[in-house]
Structure 1
């Protein structure tokens, strides 16, 4: 078990690279972030590389955006602690070296856009309200850029920044992307732990070794998650979303049940891990940038890619324990 994450605020600087153009070379050549006060909303080549390394080590920073946000900080703390390294608000040489040695290959690589990436169909706009989604034939991406950003675990803003002028709509063109598809899935999980306070999901093996870490949105004060230990009962890829009026979700006025068709922008994303409590599960999301930053309707929300990775690590019967207290939102 790794130490508490509460009140951890890093003071890592974006460094000189922040002012330079953000591109593949600057990210691949980036050294460890320096230990100076920094704005956590500032994009940095060294932070982008750090996030990619964390992702490949199965300590997900959530959406890779080049910023030292809460999710990247939580992943970094978990990685340091699980490797027995000292950590006090600074990426030490030992920590950076351990992270760099955890996987091989450049942080940013070239990728040739495939026909499937631009084929669609794409939504003109994702409706904000659930009720407006029920008439759509599918809840696909809104653009090839969104599809490619999610494929490589990136924010659309970072993908665009390292590919200036690219429209991402022509097969055969080469773009720069985060090199995150080389690490495969973590080892099968003996158990899953959902921390309501820290807004995290972690998997462990039979020896209680931490295998993988994911930032999460875990319920809300209005719709809290369960307590105690549940079990995985089913895993459904590309789920159809079923709304029941008894849920009484804020902003949904329908008094009748309705369904929303599958797709990555479905309210539960591209995967549903059903739990042994009616109506509760672990699932993906249409808004990866809001994981840990917005309330859920009682379930556990991950990025689509993290939810799919978790689904590959669990099976029917895997215990899922809920610890901590519900964080107010």
Structure 2
């Protein structure tokens, strides 16, 4: 296993609000959040693409840049005309997988509902360093991440007055994995993390990966140089651009502790001390860090999945926690990584 501590020169610049613990007792979202009806046809396409390895980001039943990118990747991989649209040819290619329904009705298990949760949740890394873990803030946030969606989407699927807690029967986007038979050499803790994020165990082996800034995606190719997976990504900014060039994967840290060093972060308060920020799904680097051969840079998860592809970062590559965890099953030390504009 790779080091459990990571020191990085990159961090997301955007944040977003989430519901408070009191609001989370019912399936309720912030008043500013959209609870518009879900387009179930779009959600069905998102679900199938995600299970096939072409992640649309959050499963929300909405068209947008992440779904367009996922469609383009899938179309390229299947030899279709690349349109980025849900066109007839693409629907025919998706048709054999129609049994993967867009939603599942499930009962919230007591083990899921009990937490632990971290609320109130400090935004400051120095304050975060005093905590034992950066857990989910509440059950609504936890369920949203487990099913690769947003709190607002769960509200739209279940209504504002639906009960939230152990034993509650709720409708979720169908992010359930195709298998949970994770590699035996992984730690029990990491296997539990993969299961909690509904990551499918059986993944293709990456012969190389390409991070493409122009398209805002990370692509995975197998030994036959076939595109086998694609994930939306946040990568760099005008002040901290993506480090272009040829790199290699050095290793992977699971549920890492983040070594916060303000000297490496242009947006940090330079009066802050260096501290160790504990692990957890709400860590600024998410649940996994995939180290690359450029010092202080890597591919990692996020505490704000809905911002992937829309926010900026300080040079690193951010994926949703579930996509970063999935990628960790595909790569290994020595895997080539091309970062291109």
Cα–Cα, structure 1 residues 169 and 267, in superposed 2: closer, same or farther, change >3 Å? same
Distance 2:83 2:219 in 1: 22
Cross-structure match for 1:55: 50
Residues 234-282 of structure 1: CA distance to partner in whole angstroms, max 9, x if unpaired? Answer: 1111110111232133143334311110000000001111111111110
Contact 1:57/1:103 (8 A) holds in 2: no
Contact 2:37/2:156 (8 A) holds in 1: no
Local SS of the residue matching 1:162: helix
Cross-structure match for 1:7: none
Matches for 1:39-118 after TM superposition, within 5 Å: 43-88=38-83, 90-102=85-97, 104-118=99-113
Match of residue 307, structure 1, among 310, 324, 334: 324
- Provide TM-score, normalisation by structure 1: 0.81
Contact 1:129/1:252 (8 A) holds in 2: no
Distance 1:182 1:103 in 2: 16
Structure 2, unpaired ranges of 5+: 1-35, 179-199
Which deviates more from structure 2 when the two are superposed, residues 153-162 or residues 203-212?
153-162
Cα–Cα, structure 1 residues 114 and 276, in superposed 2: closer, same or farther, change >3 Å? same
Q: CA deviation at 1:127?
A: 2.9
Contact 2:210/2:338 (8 A) holds in 1: yes
Q: CA deviation at 1:178?
A: 1.8
Distance 1:42 1:201 in 2: 30
Distance 2:85 2:63 in 1: 12
Number of residue pairs matched by the alignment? 283
Cross-structure match for 2:296: 279
Local SS of the residue matching 2:158: coil
Matches for 1:261-300 after TM superposition, within 5 Å: 261-300=278-317
Cross-structure match for 2:262: 245
Cross-structure match for 2:154: 159
Cα–Cα, structure 1 residues 145 and 192, in superposed 2: closer, same or farther, change >3 Å? same
Distance 1:43 1:179 in 2: 14
Contact 1:199/1:217 (8 A) holds in 2: yes
RMSD: 1.8
Distance 1:87 1:274 in 2: 32
Structure 1, unpaired ranges of 5+: 1-40, 325-329
Distance 1:223 1:136 in 2: 29
Distance 2:121 2:135 in 1: 9
Q: CA deviation at 1:304?
A: 0.1
Cross-structure match for 1:232: 249
Flag the structure with more relative contact order, 1 or 2, with Cα contacts below 8 A and sequence separation at least 6.
2
Which deviates more from structure 2 when the two are superposed, residues 142-151 or residues 78-87?
78-87
Cα–Cα, structure 1 residues 250 and 99, in superposed 2: closer, same or farther, change >3 Å? same
Distance 1:220 1:234 in 2: 25
Cα–Cα, structure 1 residues 227 and 145, in superposed 2: closer, same or farther, change >3 Å? same
Q: CA deviation at 1:293?
A: 0.6
Matches for 1:130-141 after TM superposition, within 5 Å: 130-141=125-136
Q: CA deviation at 1:133?
A: 1.9
Contact 2:104/2:171 (8 A) holds in 1: yes
Distance 2:240 2:145 in 1: 28
Contact 2:220/2:229 (8 A) holds in 1: yes
Distance 1:252 1:123 in 2: 24
